[in-house]
Amino acid sequence: MKKITLLLTLLTFGAQAQTFPLPYCEITDANGVTVEEITSVDFAGISISNSDAASVLVDETTTIVNVPQDETYTIEVAGNTYGNFDTDIVAFIDWNQNDLLDDTGEIYQIGTLTNTNGSDGNSVTLDIIIPTDAVLGTTRIRLTKTYQDPDSPAEINPCGIQFNPFGQGVFSGFGQALDFSLDVEAPLGIDTYEFNAFSVYPIPTKDVLNITSKSVLNAVKIYNILGQEVYAKNTEASQLKLDLSSFTSGIYIVKLFTEEGQHSFRVIKE
């Protein structure tokens, strides 16, 4: 009985230990922060709308954005400044997945919002390149929105919404933080399959794309140039006919799944 009780205690502790935002930091000065909310985020084809004007740190980690290495995506953020004031937007991305958000190369100053209610079309944007050495898998991105003015600069800190009024020291400020998830994938544009291991035709294609493989294909997925999945099918065949007739013209990435691994290549739909 003691062993069972101990096991239940350890399991309960383990579950509690991973309560959001763990393994990442809380906003340490949350009790002193006046919330001025982030209202929307757009990144790599995924949109987040936020109406939480009470939480200092908003949990959107169930939103997972797929981002292949070595691709560039624009992040766009809007928020409420509650009058003719300035708020700085900063992104922190844990590319190396060491549970820290402010290592070198992981901090992105997106821009400054001014005199906006968060729904009037005003926003800030920045192009972000997914590093080629980013660790594959799910990681965290945190956005902070922090009030500042020429005499009271905002602190760049993933663990605080803070500013330094008139050089008197760091104090709790006005703003909000929001976390969501990224799933870093292998580069979509790289042909990793041996050329003699399969054949694909015709390229460019108008309607049907034919794929013949020396290995059994377990699944196929197709992504548009933004990295959005537009087609998925499970299979156990070495020959496929993919109907692309309903696709709009453009470049697509086809990803094949076999027991040996994942293999991807680009196709042009006319």
| CATH 2.60.40.3080 domain span(s) along the chain | 195-269
Phi, psi of 101 (to 5 degrees): -110, 0
So what's the pLDDT on residue 191? 43
Among the listed residues 20, 13, 33, 163, the one whose alpha carbon sits nearest the alpha carbon of residue 88: 163
CATH class of segment(s) 28-185:
mainly beta
Task: Specify the DSSP element, H or E, that contains 110.
Answer: strand 107-114
In this prediction, residue 185 carries a pLDDT of: 83
What's the confidence (pLDDT) of residue 11? 42
Per-residue pLDDT of the chain (270 residues; tens, 9 = 90+): 333 333 344 344 444 446 999 999 999 888 999 999 999 999 988 999 999 999 999 999 999 998 888 888 999 999 999 999 999 999 999 999 999 999 999 999 999 999 999 999 999 999 999 998 899 889 999 999 999 999 999 999 999 999 999 999 999 999 999 999 999 887 754 444 444 577 888 888 899 999 988 889 999 999 887 778 899 999 999 999 999 999 998 888 888 888 877 777 778 888
Architecture of the structural domain at 195-269: Sandwich (2.60)
User: Which residue spans of the chain are classified as CATH 2.70.50.30?
Assistant: 28-185
Name the strand (E) or helix (H) holding 181: strand 174-185
Per-residue pLDDT at 163: 97
pLDDT at residue 268, as a whole number: 85
SS3 129: strand
pLDDT at site 188: 58
Cβ-based neighbours of 16, under 8 Å, separated by 6 or more:
none
Listed in sequence order, the residues at least 6 apart from 216 whose beta carbon sits closer than 8 Å to its beta carbon are 236, 237, 238, 258, 259
Predicted local distance difference test score (pLDDT) of residue 47: 94
Strands 229-243, 208-224: pairing kind? antiparallel
| pLDDT given at position 139 | 96
